[in-house]
Amino acid sequence: MKHLFLAVIAAGLVTITVLSMSCSSKTQPYCLTGAFLADSPTISDIDGFKKSYGKKPYMVMVFAGWGGLVDEKVIKDVYSEGCVLFVTWEPWDPATKEGIDFDKVLSGGYDGYIGSFGERLKSSGGIVFIRFAHEMNGDWYPWSGLKIGREKYIAVHRYLKTKFDKMGLADVKWVFSVNWEDVPKENNHFMLYYPGDGFVDYIGIDGYNWGDTKPWSSWMSFKEIFAHRYEEIMSLVKKPVLISEFSSTGSGGDKAAWIKDAIVDMKQMRGVAGFVLFNVDKETDWSFPADALPGKALKRSLEDGWLHDSEAFRGE
């Protein structure tokens, strides 16, 4: 079923209405592998992933704060391995966590930096995925939609893509990446911040199984985290979906079974075109050590021929 999304804003009130219509969703013939391996991933990191799990991460995620550029060596290493960059571009100072002046962006005050950022990515000579200001439907980042306003968020996203288009960066693929749930749920639906079909190539969904590591968390399957948001996106937007961040803790349940079931469930989501696995020990241990049961389960799951780690993607 296709749904028509209506957002009404009046007197500070935002309401969401979903109306049913019939329509079919595009299915993806394959799913691209991807991972976050390190802040500055190297050839060794990429090779290590492939040796551990049988396939390399076609999409290699890096984070870039505002004012910074993607390291030239990272670009060289990633593309020399036949992989592509998945750049999370965060509009803040990574050291202070202070957000940028979005009005300054729109007035052209950052055009020099934006141009340098684009030229650095252009030097890769290949496809680059960019997700700018992700998880705007949460309340933890300074670029959260409720903090800066939906109009400004949309305007900046469109401004950046238009600048890149004028620079001839046709190989940049823009990912509108949302959190799996709206926080807060009231008046913060992710579609309020959607820049429009002409400015987005993929819809990304971020979500994690925190298990019992937090007072507010409990063990959740991949399906429990992602299924509702995925179905919602497929009903609202004609764009392929990326699971743009996902992983599981091992605290509170069976991590090996979790990743096995996650790949099975993902395969049933036929609009999913790729994923990025967070494979590091950060807020909790999101990693899948190759010599442990979770790592062995991941390796077996990646044997599925539906999962591609090479040039299956053709810039569609």
Split at pLDDT 50, 70, 90, the class of 26 is: low
* 240-250 residue pLDDT tens: 999 999 999 99
CB atoms within 10 A of CB 198: 8
CA distances 24 to 128, 129, 226, 270, Å, are 29, 26, 20, 12
Residue 292 has pLDDT above 80, yes or no: yes
Mean pLDDT, residues 214-227: 97
pLDDT of residue 311: 75
Q: Considering the domain boundaries, does residue 64 fall inside one? A: yes
| pLDDT for res 313 | 61
Q: What is the domain-level CATH number for residue 195?
A: 3.20.20.80
Give the C-alpha separation, 85 to 74, whole Å.
9
User: Is 313 inside a domain boundary?
Assistant: no
Q: Residue 27 above 90 pLDDT?
A: no
Residue type, 68: G
pLDDT of the residue at 242: 98
The residue with tokens 């030239």 is 72
Determine, yes or no, domain membership for 269: yes
Q: Is pLDDT at 3 greater than 50 in this prediction?
A: no
Q: What is the tally of structural domains in the chain?
A: 1
Q: With both helix axes pointing from N to C terminus, report the angle between 43-53 and 293-301 in degrees, rounded to the nearest 10.
A: 90
264, part of any domain: yes
Domain of 53, in residue numbers = 25-308
- pLDDT tens digits, one per residue of 59-88: 999 999 999 999 999 999 999 999 999 999
Alpha carbon distance 150, 240 (integer Å): 23
89 domain-assigned: yes
* pLDDT of residue 101 exceeding 50: yes
129-175 pLDDT, tens digit each:
999 999 999 999 999 999 999 999 999 999 999 999 999 999 999 99
Average pLDDT over residues 304-308: 95
Whole-angstrom Cα Rg for the chain: 19
Is the pTM higher than 0.75? The answer reads yes
- What pLDDT was estimated at residue 1? 38
Q: Does 13 have pLDDT greater than 90?
A: no
Note the pLDDT of residue 188.
96
Q: Tokens representing 283?
A: 């807020």
| 3-class secondary structure per residue, the chain | CEEEEEEEEECCEEEEEEEEECCCCCCCCCEECEEECCCCCCHHHHHHHHHHHCCCCCEEEEEEECCCCCCHHHHHHHHHCCCEEEEEEECEECCCCEECCHHHHHCCCCHHHHHHHHHHHHCCCCCEEEEECCCCCCCCCCCCHHHHCHHHHHHHHHHHHHHHHHCCCCCEEEEEEEECCCCCCCCCCHHHHCCCHHHCCEEEEEEEECCCCCCCCCCCCHHHHHHHHHHHHHHHCCCCEEEEEEEECCCCCCHHHHHHHHHHHHHHCCCEEEEEEECCECCCECCCCCCCHHHHHHHHHCCCCCEECCCCCCCC
In terms of C-beta distances under 8 Å and separation of at least 24 residues, what long-range contacts does 209-215 make, across chains too? Answer: 209/247, 209/248, 209/249, 209/253, 209/258, 210/249, 210/284, 211/248, 211/249, 211/250, 211/251, 211/252, 211/253, 211/284, 212/251, 212/252, 213/249, 213/251, 213/252, 213/283, 213/284
Domain contains 223: yes
Amino acid letter, residue 264: V
Neighbours of 237 (CB within 10 A): 20
Average pLDDT in the chain = 91
Is residue 316 domain-resident? no
Does 10 fall in a domain? no
Tell which residue, 113, 115, 126, 119, has the closest CA to residue 86.
126
Beta carbons within 8 Å of 232's beta carbon, 6+ residues apart: none
